[in-house]
Structure 1
Amino acid sequence: MQAWHVHENGEPSEVMRLQDVEPPTPGDGQVLLKVRAANINFPDALMARGLYQVRPPLPFTPGVEICGETEDGRRVIATPALPYGGFAEYAVADAAALLPAPGALDDAEAAALHIGYQTGWFGLHRRARLEAGETLLVHAAAGGVGSAAVQLGKAAGARVIGVVGGADKAAVARELGCDVVVDRRSEDVVSAVKDATGGRGADVIYDPVGGEAYTQSTKVVAFEGRIVVVGFASGSIPSPGLNHALVKNYSILGLHWGLYNTRNPKLVQHCHEQLTELAARGVVRPLVSERVPLDGAAAAVQRVADGVTTGRVVVVPAPENGAAA
């Protein structure tokens, strides 16, 4: 089979190599999956660089989120067990963690419904307890993680403000359903959000960016607001001023979705059921902006790493035949 391997750490476009290798052998409790579609996530780039909290042994195949097919023909969503990731024709995953792929979504969409949407659901509902009528601010609203949060926020009845970088991404955020879109390249984010909320600020802020975005969040969070820290795509990890959180009376909530897989896997299953229902109703649908063949994976991972993509970029090793509404 063909699989991308990372033999040394560095930029994805430089260290990922497509090679002919033997299919991986599943271990105890694992299954071999034919990869139907593999969604690209920012952690794939971080792992290539050697900067992610999970560091698989070299060489490894990136790709942490797939729609795959079991040997008995079941169409499933899975998080591959590294080092046998999803940017390959076959991957390995834990049998107990397989989730049925929603019939309303095609392979690429199904692959993208997992980590980003689970993170959004846990962040907004489990951690921040978002309520209908509240204002939700989403940083990087046109990206893969942000676009999921926008859709889930709208599904929950929130008013959604999307912060993006550039006119093209602003258009995408509007199409996703953002009630207000702020282009950080041409507008002052703090002033724009205060204007949009009558000076009150946002009740919940969803931040996968960190850095300056987090600083902006602390200036526009409402009384009893909640800032959900999801990641640091900017590459800058902020140091929160706890005295500021005390004086303004807001909460800083961390979210590491992966912990639920070991600490409370039943919640992951419950979340998937909720997401599947939302997908069946057409309330959420992953924004897949690009579908690239297997040999284009390295360049695609680099584009995601560089922050020039919108929605999700998905690697499709073979022509899709998954269900779709």
Structure 2
Amino acid sequence: MQLVAASRIEIQVIVDNVLDMLSSAPRFVLREAQQLRHQGMKRTSGGALCCASHGLSLLVTAHGPAGPRSLLFDGGPVDMAMERNATRLGVDFAAIEAVVLSHGHWDHAGGLPQALAMMRAANGGRATPLYLHPGMFRERGMRQPDGGVLPMDFIPAPGEWAAMGATPIVTAEPQLALDGLFYVSGEIPRVTPYERGLPGQVGRDAEDAAWQADELLMDERFLAVRLAGQGLIIFSACSHAGVVNVLHAARAAFPEEAIFAVMGGFHLSGENEKIIPETVRDIGGFDLPLVIPAHCTGWRAVNALERALGERVVPAAVGKLFTLE
């Protein structure tokens, strides 16, 4: 597939695990306080600020030959975080023309119903294409130390998404969206020996069925855009496939393109802290000019990446706006 190049790409962080209004940032990043002032904040207060929440939602706008096109990549965990943050950041929901749910986990899907409602209210009721993988609808849970299972919230079925104002596109195949400016990957091949998914996850297809191991999360996909003169920007919301596997898959899909940046949750926290050394080493091998860790990456991995890659690492946070050109 041929990705159309964008002259500028803007990435608005709507939901993330952390707030950080004070740390220095490069010139291409506006922090939350700067964003809120642009939206009319006259006095700082708790009620004026955004909130952090365990999850991720990114609004990606690519400026192509026919003008800007905007896609929402995940919706965070809950309606409250989506509504509060997007409203304060001035998100133009009428301009959002497509949505991608990266994989079947509540911390990426829970805020999407609210986002779809805000899109309908802003765009006159127009349905929005929603890219879904057919494997994301089974019930999932996490195996507990006592052998039991703590279930996760369900992912709405395609018909339920349609009732919320989406046009579900349910496929495991790669897709191009919005004038060819966005690439939604197919399933991500697992090629590294150390990236093994989400340890302890189980799944089942019916309430009375036995729980089965479901650590690989084959429904996870990445998003890619192409920045003219720079290369690909890869978005990996949770990297259960392994962020190095994601980068290998992106390189295989676009062998003639340089990879300029990777952004998202790299899932190097919890049980996956043990693979931080191999992951940091192999990310370094891609020689990326920009690495933007977010969400589930974890502070130990962010620190390890910064020690290895220096100023090429620019962590995400709620309210940050990245403008790349």
- What TM-score results when the alignment is normalised by the length of structure 2? 0.31
- What TM-score results when the alignment is normalised by the length of structure 1? 0.31
